[in-house]
């Protein structure tokens, strides 16, 4: 799979487009989703050029994968929804490929929470 360096998250990573940053580590960045689907909606992305989970899981270095997974945990804490923040829970979603409904071709996890999220899937 070829990575499109003009995708919107690549532009955010290069500082060409602003974002509301929540967290940053060596290999991950988290920022508010521009079109929130829940009271809390944050996107967590690896800094490396990975199209989706297939690409990341196969091609990322171990240190990038570890850092990214830890970033997911840090973001839920910072957002106040993690058990470690006495929160009430949350949901991580990663849309991959056409059936997954992925729009931006740079791997991202949506962290949604801050309210009860109901059933897991709605096929619309
Ligand atoms: P997906 O459909 O899983 O690819 O999700 C892409 C997400 O990126 C959507 O939830 C959009 O609202 C979000 N998004 C698109 N552009 C921006 C941006 N400039 N800043 C923050 N979030 C964005």
Task: Say which residue, 1 or 75, is predicted with more confidence.
Answer: 75
Buried b (16+ CB within 10 A) or exposed e, 114-123: beeeeeeeee
Asked whether the beta carbons of 22 and 42 are under 8 A apart, the reply is: yes
Domain 8-113: CATH superfamily is HIT-like (3.30.428.10)
Centre of ligand 1 to C-alpha 29, Å, is: 14
pLDDT digits (tens, 9 = 90+) for 47-66: 999 999 999 999 999 999 99
Question: Mind telling me the catalytic residues?
Answer: 108
91 by Cβ neighbours in 10 Å (0-12 / 13-18 / 19+) ranks as middle
The pLDDT confidence band at residue 120, using thresholds 50, 70 and 90, is confident
Residue 82 predicted with pLDDT over 80:
yes
Instruction: Classify residue 35 as exposed, middle or buried by CB count within 10 Å of its CB (0-12, 13-18, 19+).
Output: exposed
With a Cβ cut-off of 6 Å, ligand 1 is lined by 8, 17, 19, 33-35, 43, 95, 101-104
């Amino acid at each position: 799979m070829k990575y499109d360096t003009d995708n919107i998250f690549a532009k955010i990573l290069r500082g060409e487009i602003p974002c509301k940053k929540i967290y940053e580590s060596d290999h991950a960045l988290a920022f508010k989703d521009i079109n929130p689907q829940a009271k809390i909606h944050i996107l967590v992305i690896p800094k490396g050029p990975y199209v989706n989970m297939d690409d990341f899981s196969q091609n990322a270095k171990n240190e990038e994968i570890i850092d990214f997974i830890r970033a997911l945990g840090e973001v839920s804490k910072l957002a106040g929804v993690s058990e470690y923040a006495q929160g009430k829970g949350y949901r991580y979603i990663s849309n991959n490929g056409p059936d997954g409904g992925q729009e931006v071709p740079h791997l991202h996890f949506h962290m949604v929470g801050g309210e009860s999220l109901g059933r897991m899937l709605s096929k619309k």
